[in-house]
Structure 1
Amino acid sequence: MAGNRNVVWVAPLAGLLLGVLDFVWIKYVPSPFGELGNSMAVWAVVAFLLTWRFWWSLPVSLAAAVVCLVVAGPSYYLAAALIQNDDWSNLYNTNAFVWMGFGVIAGLVFGAAGVFARTPGRWQAVAVAVPVAVLFAEAVINARRVGDPSYDGSDQIGVMAVLVFLGVVLIPLAGRSWRRQGLVLLYALPLTVIGYVLLSVTGFR
């Protein structure tokens, strides 16, 4: 497909921008919005939007989402090294490879969801519910931190509200009808539980 050709530069460029801008966002944007830079869910949604926006074939979309997230990891550490003189070894140490591994998994899941979300049919609402659910799941994690002395309660409430808002904003991608949007919310409920469990397993809690 001729439309697949631009993936060669779009995917790595998207990953570079995601990593660099994410670091800048965390460093200079105040809470609660600044906390979105620490969000695994936001990175996953970027992979989803990438394959939803560009009409690549399914295999190419999966590769693009994986490349985007894998490149984003070291790009984040590159920005940290250039801007605040962090150790350059962060680009290739064990922690960097762990995050790149998560990027492969998330890229496959959310890359596929992006493709099905732009494809009319029975799976469209389910596909849109996937990024909605991961945002809701992370919002639940923030909600559970309220009252924990290790975290600022007001910050957690603010981040939770922003994550829920972003999830709601994605719902119309399934279509304009109330029925389709209602289905997204219906599917998002069990997926939120699954997402919460998976995020907790990775230690993000």
Structure 2
Amino acid sequence: MTTPPRPALAIPASLAAGLIVGWLTFVLQGILPDAFNQLANSGAVWCVIGFAAGAVGTIGRELGRRGMLAAALFGAVALFGEVIGYYGSTTLFLGDDVSAAALRGPAVWLVVACVAGPVFGIAGLAYRAGRGRVRHLGMGALGAVFLAEGLYLAIVLGYWAEAAILGTLGLLVPVVLGRSWSERLRGLGALVPLIVVGALAELGVYLLTRAAFR
């Protein structure tokens, strides 16, 4: 059995990955063209890092209580790193204010990270260590977050081109992660119930940000 990475290594690795992606978010916002610029502002893209942290950081662990706790921790640390990396970059390179009002943004997204990080960390573990339906739900969760964000962009903001990009990526997740066509089809099937959960989560984030920034 493969020895699991020590938390002393997995935690800083998850944080470093998050910091890098947060910085890349800042950089790519001025580079990606047209509708593809949404990828530099996408919460779904950020969730990929939490998913990866949960999958890679728990190598050698089973899908049990300890494995799930570790995956949740690594996912949360990764998303925390993304928030810190992005807002740290805007402060360092754009001279953004660090007043109490300006800190409201990172505070809100850290709250979101406290929920999304563990969820997608565990989804990553489920994909890597799970079997059958559990594995399908793991990959489906990652695809569903892209589809849910696409629905938000289309219905709330009317950004149809951006929504098409996110929706396409969501459908591709089970296709790319599946090891066989049977598994890919089952992963796509898992998107059906999970998109409802994802849409409700997207609504929750929308209401939270509306309340925080009004």
Query: Is the 2:174–2:187 contact (alpha carbons within 8 Å) kept by the matching residues of 1?
Result: yes
Would you say the 8 A contact 1:77–1:91 is kept in 2?
no
Moved more, 63-72 or 172-181: 172-181
Structure 1 residue 120, shift from structure 2 partner: 4.4
Whether 2:24 is the aligned partner of 1:14: answer no
Counterpart CA distance in 2 for 1:90 and 1:25 is 27
1:148 is aligned to none
Q: Give the ranges of 4+ consecutive aligned residues of structure 1 lying more than 6 Å apart after TM superposition.
A: none
| Among 110, 134, 140, the residue aligned to 1:129 | 140
* CA distance in structure 2 between the aligned counterparts of 1:36 and 1:2, rounded to whole angstroms: 32
Residues 32 and 40, structure 2, Cα contact 8 Å, conserved in 1: no
Give TM-score, length-normalised by structure 1.
Answer: 0.85
Task: State how far apart, in whole Å, the 2-side matches of 1:2 and 1:201 are.
Answer: 35
- Are 2:71 and 1:68 equivalent residues in the alignment? no
| Amino acid in structure 1 at the alignment position of 2:122 | A
Q: Distance in 2 between matches of 1:137 and 1:130?
A: 10
Distance 1:162 1:53, change over 3 A: farther
Q: Residue 11 of structure 1 contacts residue 65 of structure 1 at CA under 8 Å; is this kept in 2?
A: yes
Structure-1 residue corresponding to 2:5: 3
**1:61: how far off?**
2.2
**2:87 is equivalent to residue 77 of structure 1:** yes
Q: Which runs of 5+ in 1 are unaligned?
A: 146-150
**Partners of 1:118 and 1:108 in 2: how far apart?**
15
Cα root mean square deviation, aligned: 2.3
Q: Hey, what does 1:86 align to over in structure 2? A: 96
2:34 counterpart SS class: coil
Query: In structure 1, what is the Cα distance between the partners aligned to 2:4 and 2:187?
Result: 32
Q: Equivalents in 1 of 2:127, 2:104: separation in Å?
A: 34
Query: Following the alignment from structure 1 to structure 2, what is the Cα–Cα distance between the partners of residues 181 and 139?
Result: 21
Conserved 8 A contact 2:178-2:187: no
Q: Deviations over 1:145-187 (max 9, x none)?
A: 4xxxxx5x5xx22211221222233213553322211111111
Q: How is 1:9-48 mapped onto 2 (pairs within 5 angstroms)?
A: 9-48=12-51
Q: Which has the larger displacement, 128-137 or 32-41?
A: 32-41
Contact preservation (8 Å) 2:18, 2:49? no
Report the TM-score, using the length of structure 2 for normalisation.
0.82
1:102 aligns with 2:133: no
**Contact persistence 1:74–1:91 (CA under 8 A):** no
Could you say if the C-alpha distance between residues 192 and 79 of structure 1 is closer, same or farther in structure 2, counting changes exceeding 3 Å?
Answer: same
Superposition deviation, residue 86 in structure 1: 1.4
Total equivalences in the alignment: 197
The CA deviation at 1:37 is 2.0
1:157 aligns with 2:160: yes
The residue that corresponds to 1:144 in the other structure is 155
Identity over aligned residues, as a percent?
A: 28
8 Å Cα contact 1:69/1:107 also seen in 2: yes
State the distance in 1 between where 2:50 and 2:108 align.
18
Deviations 1:108-165 (A, max 9, x none): 10000000101241210111100101101111112214xxxxx5x5xx2221122122
